Amino acid sequence: MAEELRLPEGKRRLDEEVIPIKTDTHGAVCKARRPPASTVEPKLKKIKLENAPKYRRHQQLQGVKRVSDKKLRSELRLQQRLDEEGVKRLAASEILLPSTPGYLEAEGPLERTYKFSQQDIEANLDVGSRQKLFDLRLSYGPYTMDFARNGRHLLFGGEKGHIALLDCHTMKSLFDINVRETVRAVQVLQNYTMVAAAQKKYVYIYDQNGIELHCLRDHKITYRLEYLPYHYLLCTVGEFSELTYRDISTGAVVASHKLKLGPVRVMRQNPMNAVLHLGHTNGTVTLWTPNMGKPVVKMLCHKGAVTGMDIHKNYMATAGLDGKWRIWDLRKYEPVHHFWYFGTPPSWVSFSQTGLVGLAFGPHVQVWKDATLTAKPKMPYMEHDLPGETIECVRFRPFEDVCAIGHSAGVSTLVVPGAGLPNFDSFEANPFETKKQRREKEVRDLLEKLQPDMITLDPMRIGMVDDAPKAVILEEQRKEAEEAASKKKKKPKKKMRGRSKAGKRAAKRERQYASYIREKAQERVKQQGGAAGEPPPQAAAAAADDQGEVGGWEDADMGEETARQDEASSGGGEKKVLVRPRRSALMRFLRRKVKETKTERPS
Amino acid sequence: MPKGSSSVSKAKDSGKTKKLLKLKSKLQQAARGKIGSKQREKRGKGVKFDYDQFAKQFRKLQAGGSRADWEVADDESVASDEAFDADDEEQYGETIASIKSRAEGAQEGQEEREEWDEGDDHDEQMDASANPGLFLDRFMSDDIDMPLPDQPPASQKPAKRRGMPSGQHDDEGEGEGDGEEDADDLSKLVEMPDENDAPDPAEQLRRRVYQESRPESVFDIGPDAGGRRDQITTDDILATLQTDAAPPRGDGADQDEEEGEGQRSARDDGVRGAASQLRSELETLQRTTAVSEPLSEPKAARVDRKLKYDFARKDIQKWLPQVKRNRESEQLQLGQVPDGLNNSMANIVSSFKPSTDFEKELLTALEESGLQENDRADEMPDVGGGEESATLKRLKALMFREQRRNARLAKIKSKTWHKVHRKAEAREKEKLMARLAVEDPELAQSIQKEYEEKRARVRMLERSTARKKWARLAARFGGKAVQPLITEAAQREHDEKAAIDKIAKTKPGNAYTQGEDSDEEVHLTSDEEEEDDDKAEGGGGGGSYEEQVKGKAKLLALDELKQTDEPLPDTGLFALPFMRKAIEEERESSRREAEKLLQELEQETDTHPHRRPDPRDDLQLDQEDKEPDDHESQRIAAEKEAKQAEKEKKKKAKTVRFREEDLEKAREEVKGMLGQDGDLIMMAGDHTHRPRESLPSAALHTSTSTKVRVDQPLTTRMPAKRPRDEHQHTDEQEHPPNPWIDGYVPPKDDSKKKRRKTKKGPAGGDGDGDGAGGEEEDVLAGFDVGSTEEREQQRELLRQTFQSSTHEDDFVREVGQDEDEKLTAEEKNTSADLPGWGEWAGSGVRPNRRKQREKEVKERQKQAAIAKREHQVRRKPVSVTQCLDRKAAKYYTTTVPHPYQSKQQYDRMLQHPTGPDWNTTAVFHRLIQPKLNVRVGAVVPPLQHAKHLSPKARDSLLRAWDSKAKPQQRRTKL
């Protein structure tokens, strides 16, 4: 039996040839293939990489030893090992990055970096860097600005109606328009081809040629604009204290929260989790997501109105009217440091990509370095003054050591060494992107668009195990099942003898709808009764009154008279009651009478 | 044989009987030494037990339903036994010859025997139906059946039989009629104890089962059968053996009859020895008592299963190390990885072979001319020549490659190719048509006609599309007549834009001298334009300043009036009707303005002929005193002065409008609005006498406009702290009017309170901050009048503007409210008692003490909780919502996915991102690599046990197979 296996006809002569499949003594294929040469990376020596913690996103899993399942245990171990290796390699691959960051350094103990003037620095700059500096004297100030995400385009808007988009490489303006009304905020959207401006009344969207694409009339008297690039959300907030999220890819408003916190003039996003931070006049900062109608976090930051704010990694910088600006740790919601400013309160606070803090107050600009570190810096890193002007806005240019300031007399740039990240990821934000690349990126970004309800305080939780109480989950599941069951379409029976006539069917549908509404009404009445002790008499009476009628119910707001009665009885507490509108002439007459008497009576 | 159910059993029975008979005869033969030496040799061979077959048969035996099949098969094989072929004859020639001779001798008894056989069958049938265990007997008897003397021993599958394990009970023996085989089996059966020297435990078990499941031995078929002369028992056999050993005296009468005298005499001593051995073995066999009752089916199945499981387990053990190794390996790579295309120059050159005709031709030509590299190398072995030849070789290879590539590209035809092709075709067609016209004019004509029709249709289509296009354009732009207008408009627009650009590019001073749209300029700018005017009138400086100003104003107004009379433009952008209309409107309004201004000016000169000289006049004089030296600077100074003057004038023009009577009016208005007494107004009036610089300029204007500027962001515009000197100033002022608030009423308290408060202010902050705080408190106190709503508004406004300690309190309160809301909601949900239930109502009802106490305790607890919470919030003024974000819940999993056992394990898996954006390439590939990677078309080698085939042999085998069935596709197509 075991002596030989028959070969296919005519193939016996090939017996000598041996396929070089790696096998062990038992004949099992055992050797894993080496990865292709292009992907082979040298094995790392056991060295400690200083920058490794920067890349570490995972924690060591405890108790792997105790896992009883052998297979799982080995899998977990392998996972740990791979992740560790991944971190190490990322850290080691940093040497491949072409540029390194650098800062201004003072020589000797007496020299101060903040005493270096822009002229001094400029004199020692190379030509390429000097070309990035400009000073635009414009008469429609004060100016607010925004850089495109790759730092190539600068959008600025003067309060008196001037909006312009500048290509910072060629120094040519793509458009330069005057909208002849107040411009309060400007924002570059996904890329420079679409920009938004909050004008006197509405928010407008322009293309790169300055042609008005949209007028967003839902956003009224907007003070601040913010754009969440991964979710395609344009967020606005303003005079009426309404935070609105609008998806610019579909044009739909995905969420709108009434804050009830007064006009909001400070808003920034946390780039880590796309949560919006709003600064209020009562000194609080509130954190918002589209999912929640209430702030996810509310913190008192200043004993005066919040005037400026920005977020960088786990830190938030706020400036208030109480004479201080502070650094906050967003993991603990605790202050890290506080600093005093002088003169006018800061109108703008901004973090650079490397974590420098820029402050604009009155005619001064200050840049602080290492403000988020444990050791509090004693003095600013750099300073710049524009005597006689008011500086409105400070923005650091991404991937460049340049900071743009918008002031009452135009827009200028400053050199701030070490402000920009030295290396860019061309798949993420490429300052030198070509038209084709831009288009490709547009498509890719759209495909990778995140849903607005994925915005949570802790984005790492997405995909993980739900930690809500079991009861909540079960209840939800039950509801879902119920809904699914109710959604199932029932095939209407075909009845004979005229019972399936169109009129009859319509009547039946109406009857069903009426009963559904009645049910709902009863439910609501019950709820209100539970809240107030007993059901409101009108609602109950109405419910009793209209039992027999079909289609006579309307989910209407309270009629005026009942509203008044209600107000009189329950002291102004607003209640929504189902009321059947009464249309008889007598009733109308009575209502008018009541109205007249009410208006006559002095309040 | 008939195939009915009764006939089947009959057939079986008859078969069985035959076999028994065969056994008997075989035994006799054995006794006579007739067993072939060949078969004897085979006894010793240890062949593996074929369990599967065994089990199959075993099952068949036990399952009553499937019994018939087996019997049929048996029957058939019995029938087939009759087929006797040449092989057998060759092998068993001797035996057959003897049988034949015997058959000839006993010709007449045959029929009789057959008849008897049939009769016997009937009996057997009865037995079989009575006792199912009989089949097992038969099964046993399989091995010891003998051929009937008249039936030739036909062996259908000798090879197979040989391959069969000799140590086992062959259950496939469907009544094989070959005597040799049976004899062999018999001997095996007999020799079994000896053969299995070291019996396997499994084997033993199997045997036991086998024995257990054997209900009856073949030797005790039934008591009634014993009376028959052809019923054989072990005793019979033993007896036979005894008789064999002694002089021949057996109870099988017919056998004795059959045996010829000559045969009997052929016995010798050796045979006798064998017979005795056989006998002893048979005796041992007889001693092994069989279980009398069969196992029930499920039990038997259980035993069967267990047995099978044991076997399977043992069998599968051998794979364990391999499976383990495979499982532990990171990736299994099956199939060779093809080497990347080696496109190096060296490779191209070395692997060049002439393939096309041209190449071949060229090569031959080269050879002929003696330029072939090899020859050259032979001829000229020097270094230089070798180099040259290499170059030549390379060039040649590259050239051919290029050529081939070009040919390929040419194959993919271009547009030009098509064009040329089409033209050529047309020419060809023409030629053909011409020829056709000569040969067959009618046909040519018809073709021509057809063709022309087609052309006409195409032309029609083209024309219609063109018309449609034109119509579309016309509908959009208003016909072709409008086209020039459109272009003109475009041109104008362009010119306009260019002009604006030009203006923007020129210096601001010169920008408005062009005087294109003067009214626009008046609106847009203030200073520059006036500067120009100054320049114009720079020289003339007669009269008092006021007069001068007035004169200028008049002039301006007149100029304005004059301008409005100018004819409207007929050409250009402004000739458009809506533009004209706008211009007209604009002019109208400006004319009205100018007239009004003129009127005012005249009035003023009438009412105030001698106005108090403005202090600014002095300033101007001072400036005039400082006369620069040189002429140039003088001119500049003059210009400056003129500018200054103009500015002053402008200011004046504003202030002039609000002279005493205006102010009076404004006061009236304010009074009316505030509804306050006149004292305050007077106070406010007093304030107006103070230097205006100290107040926000809006203060005055609000008195006239009575509007709060809302659109200015308050927080940024209002300075939180004022310079110290200003503090001083406000102290002097006591109560500065709040420009932002309509119904501002200065506080009635005096500076005492304020001072006290300022002292009380928070100690931590710097002076300025404290001052602000104190001030705010004071101001707040001042706003404690008016309705609650107003007060709230004021407070809110102030709080927005200044630092205060109320923020913290507010925050604590807000947080408390939120919490309370939640608590009350929870309480409502949890409390089961309905209000009014379980209580007495009415007058004179004593309150329930217990309940009251409970209530009190609850209240106390609540208060304590509130206090604690307040303390906490004050210490760390943060409130994180406790609400669950259920909208995001759809992105969570409700249960921990397999194989993870805990939430931590699963969550940990997600922490490190997998994508290439967050990992180096190698790590990314490693993270996503599949466990098994099979090249397309590769042969996946089955697991091979080492004992069966060496890896080398296995691989080569696969290789062979692979090369035979070559896959067409070598790479995955995506």
- pLDDT value of position B208: 53
- A85, A321, A426, A528, best to mutate vs chain B, most B CBs in 10 Å: A321
Find the CB nearest A27 among B883, B925, B954. B954
Concatenated DSSP letters of B284-319: HHHHSPPPSSPPPHHHHHHHHHHHHHHHHHHHHHTT
> How close are the terminal C-alpha atoms of chain A, in Å?
111
pLDDT at A209 over 50: yes
| The pLDDT of residue A465 | 92
User: Pick from B711, B880, B946: which is nearest to A26 by CB?
Assistant: B946
Cα gap B859→B870, rounded to integer Å: 16
Q: In what order do the strands lie in the sheet with A183-188?
A: A183-188, A194-199, A203-207, A212-216
Distance from CA of B426 to the nearest CA of A (A): 42
> Tell me, what's the pLDDT at A183?
96
Task: With 0.90 as the threshold, say if the pTM is over it.
Answer: no
Q: Report the candidate in B792, B690, B770, B793 with the shortest Cα–Cα distance to residue B734.
A: B690
Strand intervals (E) in A148-273: 153-158, 162-167, 172-178, 183-188, 194-199, 203-207, 212-216, 222-228, 233-238, 242-247, 253-258, 266-270
CB of A426 less than 8 A from some CB of B: no
Q: Which of B160, B326, B341, B716 to mutate to test the interface with A (most CBs of A within 10 A)?
A: B716
Q: What are the beta bridge partners of residue A320? A: A306
Q: Which of A364-368, A530-534, B25-29, B65-69: highest mean pLDDT?
A: A364-368
Contacts of A348 in chain B (CB under 8 A): none
| pLDDT tier, A353 (very low <50, low <70, confident <90, very high otherwise) | very high
Order of strands across the sheet with A391-396?
A135-137, A410-415, A402-407, A391-396
Whose structure tokens read 């804050």? A259
Q: Please judge whether B903 and A15 are an interchain contact, meaning their C-beta atoms are less than 8 angstroms apart.
A: no
Q: Residue A542: is its pLDDT beyond 60?
A: no
Edge-to-edge, what's the strand order for the sheet holding A334-340?
Answer: A306-312, A315-320, A324-329, A334-340
Q: Which of B721, B886, B960 sits opposite A14 (nearest CB)?
A: B960
CA distances in angstroms from B495 to B498, B499, B574, listed in the order given: 5, 6, 13
B104: buried, middle or exposed (CB in 10 Å: 19+, 13-18, 0-12)? Answer: exposed
pLDDT recorded at residue A277: 97
Specify whether the CB–CB gap between B803 and B766 falls below 8 A.
no
pLDDT in the model for residue A311: 96
**CA-CA distance, A40 to A57, in Å (whole number)?**
24
What's the sign of the alpha-carbon dihedral A367, A370, A373, A379? negative
pLDDT at position B312 is 93
In this structure, what token pair is assigned to residue B31?
């006794």
Task: Give me the residues of B, 768-807, that contact A with CB < 8 A.
Answer: 768-769, 796, 799-805, 807
Residue B293 is predicted with a pLDDT of 80
Q: Are A168 and A397 in contact (CB under 8 A)?
A: yes
Q: For position A42, what pLDDT does the model report?
A: 55
Interface of A with B in 47-66 (CB under 8 A): 57-59, 61-62
Mutation target for A interface from B902, B920, B932, B954: give the one with most A CBs within 10 A.
B920
Interchain pair A304, B807: CB under 8 A: yes
Q: How many residues make up chain A in this entry?
A: 603
Hey, are the CB atoms on B883 and A28 less than 8 Å from each other? Answer: no
- Is the distance from CB of B128 to CB of B67 less than 8 angstroms? no
The pLDDT of residue B300 is: 92
Q: For chain A, what is the mean pLDDT?
A: 84
pLDDT in tens, B719-754: 444 444 444 443 444 444 444 444 444 444 444 444
Q: Are B773 and B802 in contact (CB under 8 A)?
A: yes
Alpha helices in A402-469 (DSSP H): 435-447
Judged by average pLDDT, the poorest of A104-108, A148-152, A305-309, B945-949 is B945-949
Task: Show residues of chain B in contact with A344, CB under 8 Å.
Answer: 719-720
Q: Could you say which residues from 612 to 631 on chain B have a Cβ atom under 8 Å away from some Cβ of chain A? A: none
Pairing between strand A364-368 and A382-385?
antiparallel
Cα angle B933, B936, B941 (rounded to 5 degrees) comes to 65
CB contact under 8 A, B807 and A282: yes
Q: Which of A298, A307, A311, A352 is nearest to A325 (CA)?
A: A307
CB-nearest partner of A465 from B887, B893, B949: B893
Which chain B residue has its CA at the smallest distance from A78's CA? B330
Helix (H) / strand (E) element for B620: namely helix B615-625
Task: Tell whether B337 is within 8 A of chain A (Cβ).
Answer: yes
Two structure tokens written together for B748: 């009635």
Torsion A288-A289-A293-A295 (CA) sign: negative
Q: Of the candidates B545, B736, B505, B539, which has an alpha carbon nearest to the alpha carbon of residue B635?
A: B539
The verdict on a CB contact (< 8 Å) between B330 and A32 is yes
Element (H, E) at B769: helix B767-782
With a cut of 60, say whether residue A186 has pLDDT above it: yes
Taking the alpha carbons at both ends of chain B, their separation in whole angstroms is 65
CA dihedral B573, B576, B582, B587 (to 10 degrees): 70
Q: Give the whole-angstrom CA distance, residue B517 versus residue B502.
A: 15
Tell me how far apart the alpha carbons of residues A106 and A378 are, in angstroms, rounded to a whole number. 14
Distance of CA A353 to the CA centre of its chain: 18
- What does the pLDDT read at residue B940? 76
Angle subtended at Cα A500 by Cα A496 and Cα A506, rounded to the nearest 5 degrees: 165
On whether any CB of chain A is under 8 Å from the CB of B833, the answer is: no
Q: Which segments of chain B have a pLDDT < 50?
A: 1-12, 34-49, 64-85, 88, 106, 108-199, 209, 212-228, 248-262, 375-381, 510-542, 609-629, 655-657, 675-780, 967, 969-974
Task: Give yes or no for B943 touching A (CB within 8 A).
Answer: yes
Task: For chain A, say whether B951 makes contact (Cβ under 8 Å).
Answer: yes
DSSP code of B58?
H
Q: Is B329–A32 a contact, with Cβ atoms under 8 angstroms apart? A: yes
Which pLDDT value is given to residue B857? 93
Euclidean distance between CA atoms A224 and A297, whole angstroms: 20
Q: What is the ipTM of this complex?
A: 0.74
Alpha-carbon span B397 to B405, nearest angstrom: 12
CA distance B41 to chain A (A): 20
Count helices and strands in chain A by DSSP H and E runs? 10, 28
What angle in degrees, to the nearest 10, is found between the helix axes of B234-245 and B5-31? 20
Nearest by CB to B964, from A11, A296, A454: name it: A11
**B139 residue type, one letter:** F
Q: Is B827 exposed, middle or buried (0-12, 13-18, 19+ CB in 10 A)?
A: exposed
| Shortest distance, CA A346 to any CA of chain B (angstroms) | 8
Query: Best residue in A15, A26, A297 to probe B by mutation, most B CBs within 10 Å?
Result: A26
Question: Distance from A595 to chain B by nearest Cα, in Å?
Answer: 25
| Lowest mean pLDDT segment, chosen from A47-56, A267-276, B33-42, B232-241 | B33-42
What average pLDDT does the segment A271-285 reach?
A: 94
Distance CA A322, CA B276 (A): 124
- Three-state DSSP state, B260: coil
pLDDT value of position B797: 76
The whole-angstrom separation of Cα B429 and Cα B445 is 14
Note if the bond before B577 is cis, omega within 30 degrees: no
The tokens describing B103, both together, are 């058959």
Task: For chain B, positions 668-727, list CB contacts with chain A under 8 A.
Answer: 711, 713, 715-716, 719-721
- CA A506 to chain B, closest CA, distance in angstroms equals 37
**Are B933 and A89 inside 8 Å of each other by CB?**
no
Whether B767 contacts A340, CB under 8 Å = no
Interface A-B: count of C-beta contacts within 8 A: 309
Q: Please, which residues 456-475 of chain A have a Cβ atom closer than 8 Å to chain B?
A: 456, 460-468, 472-473
SS (H, E, C) A253-266: EEEEEECCCCCCCE
What pLDDT is attached to residue A234?
A: 97
pLDDT bin (cut points 50, 70, 90) of residue A584 is low
pLDDT at position A177 over 50: yes
Q: How far is B352 from chain A (nearest CA, A)?
A: 27
A266-270 and A253-258 strand pairing: unpaired
In sequence order, the β-bridge partners of residue A279 are A266, A285
- Which of the listed ranges A52-61, A303-312, B272-281, B960-969 does the model predict with the highest average pLDDT? A303-312
Distances (CA, A) of B914 to A321, A466, B896: 45, 21, 20
* Nearest by Cα to B364 from B354, B378, B350: B354
- C-alpha–C-alpha distance, residues A64 and A77, integer Å: 7
Candidates B656, B699, B475; CA nearest to B550 is B656
